[in-house]
Amino acid sequence: MGTYFSDREFARVEPAENAFCSPIPTQVISNGEFNPPAQTSQQKQVEARIKELADTYGKKLGMDRRRFLQTASGMAAAFVAMNSVFGKVFDVSEAEAADPMVAQARAEGTKGQFIFDVQTHWVRDDYNQEGFVGFLKEVNQLEKSGLDPSKITAYDVKFENYVRQIFLNSDTSVAVLSGAPFDDRSWEFLTNQAIADGVKMVNKTAGSTRILGHAVLTPGQPGWMDEVDRALAERPPASWKMYTIGDPLSAKTKYPFRLDDEKLMYRFYEKADKAGIRNICIHKGLMPADYEQSWPGVWQYQTAWDLPKVAKDWPQLNFIIYHGCFRAFMDPPGAAMAEFNKTGDIKWVTELSRVPDKSGTQNVYAEMGTSFATTCVIDPKFAAAMLGTWIKGLGASNVIWGSDSVFHGSPQWQIEALRRLEIPDDMQKKYGFAPLGPANGRVKNQIFGLNSASMYNINLRASYPRFTEDKFAQIKEEYRTAGTLDSLRDNAAHGWIAKRSA
């Protein structure tokens, strides 16, 4: 997990492991690609309410706070706390927090739901960037637990913990293993060969296709088309991954590009089309509030400006926009919601949602990774507005589930958040948004997995039984039968948070 934090920025953050160990994060967690905002007053209220509920109901169940928050009732208590602060946005009752049987009954209602996470990561075994590992060594909580800081490594974002958090500690059925490009290759999480090898290893161990892989491309860089040919010949990916900004961590990025650059890109599209690998995943969004000053001359490449033409020129390809083109990542709390309330628009998200009208096509998609996770913990009503905007413009069939885990720990809390989230009635009426519906209803099932299954040619009638019977499913069922599944959900997140006051 790379970061280009300056020394000044390092001084303002601390490891996410230092945060309150809540089923739902009570402040924004950064994976190193952005400066996390400070915990808001509302998030502090949520945290205090979670602690209160955990102490009350945990005591009745003979559990301490930490143990209670690892249970399904603890997860429910976190959503109760969110509703008490932000208003009723999540479908949850305090009975779930009070009674494990009620919580379990709800969980049974979504058991077996197909969830396809198209944005997941782990880092290579020899990944040892000083900034990241240095932070892990400074985690006070780990020192207090008796672990030797000198022996702490980047384990939490490596393979073993990935499998544990994605396939055992969450309801994820299938995942896509992704990567990212950097001008300095030492920051690279995984090479394309390592992604391909990891996919083979996981699927062989599971006994089914649990994971698919990207091939990360770097258009404009020397030899980038050679990598396309190599991937097609030696290790065909399930889809392609690109960053139109170039290096996502450096404003001095050298290789930004446009998707509709006919001279640069169209020969690649021809090869992708001919090979039948037509899913093109593109990182767009997640820029600071001062992007015009801090990223001069390159920030435009993060916008949807190049999508109408390329979508129209290549209707047989799927352009999947990672992070859903959400720009307002580090604005002061409430700024994006205030802008939405005033204009009905969300910068760059609304622009993306209008591409079908401009292009006359339906081949552009919004992926939710990081954008949903962060807005959900800052202001869930804004997360609902963002979802409503995507669905209204692109259609429910063109919104895609992704969590950006394992950088955020287990994605289970994000899954639960979407299952329970509903667009408030007043927002539906004012902006013409359709309701999201029940946890396992048509819209959420489309978003969670059916849309991606179609794009990735996964025949659920043929494949899904294997997902519920393979080695990972057997291990998970053993945990469930033994009553230990909740205890494995450590609620840990990995990355950085703004420093908390003492």
DSSP characters over 160-224: HHHHIIIIISS---EEEE-----SSGGG-S--HHHHHHHHHHHHHHHTS--EEEEEE--TTSTTH
CA distances from 50 to 58, 97, 375, 426, 497 (A): 11, 10, 19, 27, 19
Tell me if 280 sits within 8 A of 319, measured CB to CB. Answer: yes
Residue 234 exposure: Cα atoms within 13 Å on the Cβ side: 13
**Placement of tokens 């509709």 in the chain:** 260
Low-confidence winner among 97-101, 378-382, 454-458, 460-464 (lowest mean pLDDT): 460-464
**Measured between alpha carbons, how far is 248 from 178 in angstroms, rounded to an integer?**
14
Q: pLDDT per residue over 403-458, tens digit each?
A: 998 876 789 999 999 999 999 999 999 999 999 999 999 999 999 999 999 999 99
Q: Which residues contact 362 (CB under 8 A, 6 or more apart)?
A: 356, 394, 395, 397, 398
Mean pLDDT of the residues in the chain: 85
Please report which residue ranges of 91-147 form alpha helices under DSSP H.
94-98, 100-109, 130-137, 140-144
Instruction: Tell how strand 13-15 and strand 496-498 pair up.
Output: antiparallel
Confidence of residue 18 (pLDDT cuts 50, 70, 90): low
Q: pLDDT per residue over 353-394, tens digit each?
A: 999 999 999 999 999 998 998 888 889 999 999 999 999 999
**Measured between alpha carbons, how far is 400 from 304 in angstroms, rounded to an integer?**
17
Q: By percentage, how much of the chain surpasses pLDDT 70?
A: 82
Question: Average pLDDT, stretch 291-315?
Answer: 95
Question: Average pLDDT, stretch 466-485?
Answer: 77
pLDDT at 233: 97
Q: Which residues contact 102 (CB under 8 A, 6 or more apart)?
A: 93, 95, 96
pLDDT at 438: 96
Compare 195 and 135 and report the one with higher pLDDT: 195
In the three-class reduction of DSSP (H, G, I as helix; E, B as strand; rest coil), residue 158 is classed as: coil
Compare 258 and 17 and report the one with higher pLDDT: 258
Q: pLDDT per residue over 478-494, tens digit each?
A: 877 765 545 455 655 55
Closest CA to 416 of 121, 168, 77, 163: 77
pLDDT at 483: 59
Question: What's the predicted TM-score (pTM) here?
Answer: 0.88
70: tokens are: 């690892």
